[in-house]
Amino acid sequence: MLKLNEILDEKDKRLKCVSKEVKFPLTEKDINIINNSIEYLTNSQLEENLENEKFRPGMGLAAIQLGIPKRYFVIVEELPTGEHDPQKFKNYIVVNPKVVSHSEEMIYAELGEGCLSVNREVPGIVPRHARITIEGFNELGEPIKIRAREELSIAFQHEIDHLNGILFFERIDKTDPFNGENTMRSI
């Protein structure tokens, strides 16, 4: 399984690289990284692991965060469940993503964005589109199209930023970190 110390820290210059398009079929190493990322992200969101030092809660992980400059990422979304339902997750594996459309409405995460590569709180508003549509491929090379909104939209934009060498805090207005608080909707 993937370990927290394998995730690059924000000081690592490799995080500033623009990742390269992936050719299919994916390598066995890439498939293992995808599977290990899903396992880590799922475990990091389970309540019983919140106090475990092996995990920091995360929803997404781009290959570049593991030092691999390839255009793919994984998002594990926790789905709402009933009182007696087991926790359920939906996994997104996106290779060579392209944003094909987005809303004009901008939103931000009220509690701020976090990142497994940034081990500190960064106050401020990260403006994101409320809805986006992404096209790309799954791990088998089959075309996919995903429409995401709200929190999931933020997660997709965050991971695509990683593929382009951008860390979330670089989108915060340096002179006014809470700029947009009154013009954007928080979620």
116-138 per-position pLDDT tens digit:
999 999 999 999 999 999 999 99
Cβ neighbours of residue 171 closer than 8 Å, sequence gap 6 or more: 126, 127, 161
- Provide the strand spans (E) within 21-87: 60-62, 72-79
pLDDT of 83 reads 60
Distance CA 116, CA 41 (A): 10
- Residue 176: CA atoms inside 13 Å, Cβ hemisphere, count? 6
> Looking at the annotation, which residues are catalytic?
159
The boundaries of the domain holding residue 156 are 4-186
DSSP secondary structure string, 75-118?
EEEEEP--TTSPPEEEEEEEEEEEEEEE-S-EEE-TT---BTTB
Compute the half-sphere exposure of residue 167: CA atoms within 13 Å on the CB side of its CA. 20
pLDDT at 85 over 70: no
pTM above 0.85, yes or no: yes
Task: Say if CB 63 and CB 15 are below 8 A apart.
Answer: no
Between CA 63 and CA 133 the distance in angstroms is: 21
- Give the model's pLDDT for residue 86: 60
Which DSSP category does 20 fall into?
B
CATH of the domain at 159: 3.90.45.10
Domain count, the chain: 1
